[in-house]
């Protein structure tokens, strides 16, 4: 038997496999047993209701896709009153992804989540535009990222995961700033900005023009970001970006991720997360690895990181 | 809810292809063995197909496909308009190849209580979505609209009672179809109406059904990501109970919507 239990800061997960925010909902319980996962991660909740972006919201590429969904949702009050009872049916820790347009709104919403039974952790989606900074994403710069993280930290005692964006010049600096501001773990990384054009109409394929690129073609970039962050911080990293198979998950863990999220792959193979989980255990068994945590950072040049855990 | 042997309502199935053949110039029929799936599939539901030929070539994402035939012998049929990479890959499948199917998905058609006679109005391959209504215990009269007689696929629709209208002779013009429907509603008023395949015909049927007080439903199409309700890619404008316009997921709240609540697309 391979030990799969995974510690992410103060939270212990039964295994290191969970969904990526935005690609998952309770609907998947009609296809598979969600209680087999390490954690559940909601779509981003926003303080106010949002309609989302203009259609089309999806543009397929070779081995990946661009999306500009635009975080549609009914807002935080609806989430705590109506969505949470449904989430509480599951036994697995629930991580609520939180997005907000300002530091103060992040803090207010985090305080509400802290007072909501059944929320195991907050995943701060700081890739959303900061209305106080001309719409630049919080995650673009260390200072704005840290400001959001510090505000959430002060407003809530819940474990705080911070999801970083690839759309930054220096992800290691952003990672360090988030760690210093109180992040308990980093989720690396969100989608990378991309574009697709319909050459018949000479218009962008997405209604919102630009969109976030994800899927297998994005994997090498996400893996590199995990590798860089793992060498910059001491807190756990949750790897995400293009993971479809157990082999992909092993790569992310060897690059320094303690756990992984599976997103776009679930659109193609609805039970992809279970395939990743079963394959991960099989890989460890085949290699004589008794604890999945032994994989974490195996490929990093600085092995000190392993000793620190 | 009905569940597969796995215990889950929706499952991924590797279905052996039994038939794969072109229909006319632009369409293709695929029949697969899907015993566990066919018994749980209701008219109007759809499947999410992995569009890969035997060599594995095809687009990355699945494609939603309405179910054309629900066989009592455990088969499912799909009638495709071959127009892109996904449908081209499906058309390359041969008997014995496997088709990867996730389903059954979405909310299908429902008949008003006591309905005995229904009218369906289909454009092009939209008739594939409506064809399973023929298996329900009601008399179906169909009005089928196509570009030209060679595109009609009346046999594929399978209704014993139908009228055809064509672009090629002008009989599919909205005014002509309106006159045809009015005659029908006045002589043999249907208990419900159903449509799929054309925004123009949808608007016409919506207006006439409201005027005559006949309930109805429309099956909508939309680009999809997950097909399960998770990604919110496939929303359309639909009026809610209070008449407010809301975004609803074609994959989850649909693909069949109330005729009067759906909106032009």
> Which residues of A are less than 8 Å from B229 in CB distance?
25, 27
By residue range, what is the domain housing residue B85?
Answer: 11-105
Domain boundary among B105, B134, B153: B105
> Which residues of A are less than 8 Å from B230 in CB distance?
23-25, 27-28, 43, 266
The CATH number given to whatever domain includes residue A237 is 3.20.20.70
* Per-residue pLDDT tens over the stretch B126-146: 999 999 999 999 999 999 999
**Residue A112 in this model has a pLDDT that exceeds 70:** yes
Query: Is residue B264 one of the residues assigned to a domain?
Result: no
Is B165 within 8 Å of chain A by CB? no
- Who among B1, B12, B230 is closest to A28 (CB)? B230
> Which residues of B are less than 8 Å from A72 in CB distance?
232, 235, 247
Query: Is residue B101 one of the residues assigned to a domain?
Result: yes
On whether both B100 and B123 belong to a single domain, the answer is: no
**Which of A154, A146, A135 has the alpha carbon at shortest distance from A186?**
A146
The CATH number given to whatever domain includes residue B204 is 3.40.50.80
pLDDT at A1: 87
Count structural domains, chain A.
1
**Which of A116, A82, A69, A67 has the alpha carbon at shortest distance from A96?**
A116
Supply B144's token pair: 């089928």
Asked whether the beta carbons of residue A268 and residue B60 sit closer than 8 angstroms, the reply is yes
Q: How far apart are CA A233 and CA A250, in angstroms?
A: 20
Partners of B69 in the β-ladder? B77
Query: Is residue B4 one of the residues assigned to a domain?
Result: no
Q: For the residues of A240-268, what is the DSSP string, one character each?
A: ESS--SHHHHHHHHHTT-SEEEE-THHHH
On whether both B126 and B199 belong to a single domain, the answer is: yes
Hey, CA dihedral for B16, B22, B108, B63, is it positive or negative?
positive
Q: How far apart are CA B119 and CA B126, in angstroms?
A: 14
Phi, psi of B144 (to 5 degrees): -110, 125
Strand order in the sheet with B216-219: B161-166, B139-146, B117-123, B192-196, B216-219, B256-258
On whether both B141 and B170 belong to a single domain, the answer is: yes
Confidence of residue A303 (pLDDT cuts 50, 70, 90): low
For chain B, the distance separating the N- and C-terminal CA atoms, rounded to the nearest angstrom, is 32
On whether both B226 and B96 belong to a single domain, the answer is: no
Query: Is residue B22 one of the residues assigned to a domain?
Result: yes
Burial of A298 (0-12, 13-18, 19+ CB in 10 A): middle
- Kindly give the pairing relationship between strand B27-33 and strand B11-23: antiparallel
On whether both B138 and B179 belong to a single domain, the answer is: yes
**Which of A199, A241, A238 has the alpha carbon at shortest distance from A65?**
A241
Asked whether the beta carbons of residue A61 and residue B228 sit closer than 8 angstroms, the reply is no
Q: Tens of pLDDT along chain B (265 residues)? A: 445 667 899 999 999 999 999 999 899 999 999 999 999 999 999 999 999 999 999 999 999 999 999 999 999 999 999 999 999 999 999 999 999 999 999 999 999 999 999 999 999 999 999 999 999 999 999 999 999 999 999 999 998 899 999 999 999 999 999 999 999 999 999 999 999 999 999 999 999 999 999 999 999 999 999 999 999 999 999 999 999 999 999 999 999 999 999 999 8
Q: Chain A residues within 8 A (CB-CB) of chain B?
A: 22-25, 27-28, 30-32, 43, 51-52, 55-58, 60-65, 67, 69, 72, 215-216, 266-271
- Who among A23, A64, A65 is closest to B230 (CB)? A23
On whether both B125 and B221 belong to a single domain, the answer is: yes
**Annotated catalytic, A128?**
yes
Query: Is residue B6 one of the residues assigned to a domain?
Result: no
- Kindly give the pairing relationship between strand A237-240 and strand A185-188: parallel
Is B74 within 8 Å of chain A by CB? no
Query: Is residue A115 one of the residues assigned to a domain?
Result: yes
Supply A16's token pair: 């290191």
pLDDT at B88: 98
Asked whether the beta carbons of residue A67 and residue B225 sit closer than 8 angstroms, the reply is yes
By residue range, what is the domain housing residue A161?
Answer: 6-52+71-202+216-308
Of A128, A178, A229, A284, which residue is the catalytic one? A128
Query: Is residue A60 one of the residues assigned to a domain?
Result: no
* Per-residue pLDDT tens over the stretch A145-180: 999 999 999 999 999 999 999 999 999 999 999 999
The CATH number given to whatever domain includes residue B85 is 2.40.30.10
Helix B199-212 / helix B174-187 crossing angle, nearest 10 deg: 30
Contact B223, A58 (CB under 8 A): yes
Q: Which residue is listed with tokens 């049927």?
A: B205
Query: Is residue B37 one of the residues assigned to a domain?
Result: yes
On whether both B99 and B126 belong to a single domain, the answer is: no
On whether both B157 and B242 belong to a single domain, the answer is: yes
Query: Is residue A1 one of the residues assigned to a domain?
Result: no
**Residue A131 in this model has a pLDDT that exceeds 90:** no
Q: Which residue is listed with tokens 């179809």?
A: B177
Domain boundary among B54, B79, B105: B105
Q: Which residues touch A243 (CB under 8 Å, ≥6 apart)?
A: A219, A249, A252, A260, A261, A262, A263, A265, A276
Is B101 within 8 Å of chain A by CB? no
Asked whether the beta carbons of residue B12 and residue A31 sit closer than 8 angstroms, the reply is yes
On whether both B185 and B95 belong to a single domain, the answer is: no
Asked whether the beta carbons of residue A56 and residue B223 sit closer than 8 angstroms, the reply is yes
On whether both B238 and B133 belong to a single domain, the answer is: yes
Count structural domains, chain B.
2
On whether both B76 and B17 belong to a single domain, the answer is: yes
Select from B1, B5, B50, B61 the residue whose CB has the most chain A CBs within 10 Å, as the one to mutate to test that interface.
B61
Burial of A303 (0-12, 13-18, 19+ CB in 10 A): exposed
Q: For chain A, what is the radius of gyration of the CA atoms? A: 18
Domain boundary among B105, B125, B140: B105
CA distances from A280 to A217, A251, A264, A286, B141 (A): 21, 11, 19, 10, 56
- CA-nearest residue to A271 within chain B is B12
Asked whether the beta carbons of residue A30 and residue B59 sit closer than 8 angstroms, the reply is no
Q: pTM value?
A: 0.95
Asked whether the beta carbons of residue B230 and residue A266 sit closer than 8 angstroms, the reply is yes
On whether both B130 and B22 belong to a single domain, the answer is: no
Q: How far apart are CA A163 and CA A122, in angstroms?
A: 10
The mean pLDDT value for A244-254 works out to 98
Q: How far apart are CA B169 and CA A223, in angstroms?
A: 60
Query: Is residue A63 one of the residues assigned to a domain?
Result: no
Phi, psi of B139 (to 5 degrees): -80, 125
């Amino acid at each position: 038997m391979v030990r799969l239990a995974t510690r992410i800061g103060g939270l212990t997960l039964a295994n290191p496999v969970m969904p990526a925010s935005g690609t998952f909902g309770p609907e998947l319980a009609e296809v598979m047993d969600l209680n087999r996962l390490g954690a559940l991660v909601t779509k981003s909740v926003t303080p106010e209701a949002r309609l989302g972006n203009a259609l089309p919201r999806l543009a397929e590429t070779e081995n990946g896709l661009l999306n500009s969904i635009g975080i549609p949702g009914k807002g935080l009050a609806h989430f705590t009153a109506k969505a949470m009872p449904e989430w509480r049916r599951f036994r697995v820790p629930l991580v609520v992804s939180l997005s907000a347009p300002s530091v103060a709104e992040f803090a207010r919403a985090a305080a509400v989540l802290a007072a909501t039974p059944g929320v195991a952790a907050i995943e701060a989606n700081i890739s959303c535009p900061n209305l106080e900074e001309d719409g630049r994403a919080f995650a673009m710069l260390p200072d704005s990222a840290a400001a959001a993280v510090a505000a959430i930290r002060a407003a809530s005692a819940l474990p705080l995961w911070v999801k970083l964006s690839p759309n930054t010049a220096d992800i290691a600096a952003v990672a360090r700033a988030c760690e210093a501001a109180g992040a308990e773990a980093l989720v690396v990384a969100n989608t990378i900005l991309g574009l697709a054009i319909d050459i018949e109409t000479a218009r962008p394929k997405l209604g919102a023009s630009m969109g976030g690129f994800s899927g297998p073609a994005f994997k090498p970039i996400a893996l590199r970001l995990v590798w860089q962050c793992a060498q910059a911080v001491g807190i756990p990293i949750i790897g995400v970006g293009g993971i479809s198979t157990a082999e992909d998950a092993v790569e992310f863990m060897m690059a320094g991720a303690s756990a992984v999220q599976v997103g776009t792959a679930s659109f193609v193979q609805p039970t992809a997360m279970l395939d990743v989980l079963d394959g991960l255990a099989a890989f460890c068994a085949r290699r004589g690895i008794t604890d999945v945590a032994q994989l974490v950072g195996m490929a990093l040049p600085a092995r000190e990181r392993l000793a620190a855990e | 809810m009905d569940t597969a042997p796995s215990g889950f309502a929706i499952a991924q199935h590797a279905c052996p292809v039994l038939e794969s053949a072109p229909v006319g110039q632009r369409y293709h029929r695929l029949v697969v063995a899907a015993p566990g799936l066919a018994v749980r599939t209701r008219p109007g539901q759809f499947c999410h197909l992995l569009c890969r030929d035997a060599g594995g070539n095809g687009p990355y994402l699945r494609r939603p496909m309405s179910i054309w035939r629900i066989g009592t012998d455990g088969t499912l049929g799909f009638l495709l308009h071959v127009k892109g990479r996904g449908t081209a890959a499906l058309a390359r499948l041969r008997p014995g190849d496997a088709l990867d199917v996730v389903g059954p998905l979405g909310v299908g058609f429902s008949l008003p209580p006591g309905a005995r006679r229904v009218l369906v109005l289909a454009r092009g391959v939209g008739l594939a979505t409506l064809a399973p209504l023929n298996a329900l215990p009601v008399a179906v009269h169909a009005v089928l609209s196509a570009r030209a007689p060679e595109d009609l696929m009346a046999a594929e629709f399978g209704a014993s009672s139908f009228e055809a209208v064509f672009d090629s002779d002008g009989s599919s013009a909205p005014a002509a179809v309106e006159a045809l429907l009015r005659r029908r509603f006045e002589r043999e008023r249907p208990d419900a109406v159903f449509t799929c395949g054309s925004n123009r015909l949808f608007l016409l049927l919506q207006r006439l059904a409201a005027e005559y007080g006949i309930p109805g439903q429309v099956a909508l199409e939309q680009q999809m990501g997950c097909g399960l309700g998770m990604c919110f890619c496939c929303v359309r404008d639909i009026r809610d109970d209070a008449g407010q316009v809301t975004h609803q997921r074609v994959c989850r709240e649909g693909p069949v919507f109330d005729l009067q609540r759906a909106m032009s697309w």
